[in-house]
Amino acid sequence: MPGTKRALFIDWGGTLALTKNNRTVVDAAGHPVLMPNVVATLARERPRFDACFIVSNQARVSTGEISETEVLRRFAWANEQLGRPFTDCRLCPHTDADDCDCRKPRPGMFLELARLHDVDLSASTHVGDSEKDRDAAVTAGVGTFVWARDFFGWATGPA
């Protein structure tokens, strides 16, 4: 039975947070550097949705390059910076070799969040910057996929 809430699912690296060589860029204090227009865009768009989630592939957890605790600390920091828009978050710590159900383009993170939070996936939106994001949204049955550059208006000149 489908849920009732309209949700905004947002990718992390390259969408909410600046990345370089597939790693989140952090400032001198160790905090992630947010992408341009993220603060203003989320402030405007978040009220249109009943729930909002981060869904992020974090294969470097499996390879030992970063701890899951540190990834979650960065998500929590962003949540505070942005005025607590996020209802929940999911990360996939696996690599392709693990053959898990959660690593995008597979839909596991979306399906689990939808089940837990009574989400109507067909009425929901995913914002991402990669084909894996888009394909995961399609497979999960998320009704709308929006490229991060369009959602945040980078095409018209990022800061």
Strand pairing report for 23-24 and 144-147: unpaired
Only segment of 28-36, 71-79, 98-106, 120-128 that touches Zn ion (CB under 5 A): 98-106
Scan residues 6-45 and list those touching Zn ion (CB under 5 A). none
Say if CB 58 and CB 26 are below 8 A apart: no
Is residue 100 close enough to count as binding Zn ion by CB under 5 A? Answer: yes
CB of 155 to Zn ion, least distance (A): 31
Residues 73-92 that bind Zn ion (CB under 5 A): 92
How many chain residues are in contact with Zn ion, going by CB under 5 A?
5
Map tokens 């990345």 to a residue. 19
Task: Mention every residue, 6+ apart, whose C-beta is less than 8 A from residue 118.
Answer: 3, 4, 5
Out of 6, 74, 90, 94, point to the residue binding Zn ion (CB under 5 A).
94
- Residues 83 and 104: their CA atoms lie apart, in Å, by 27
Give contact residues for Zn ion (rule: CB under 5 A).
92, 94, 100, 102-103
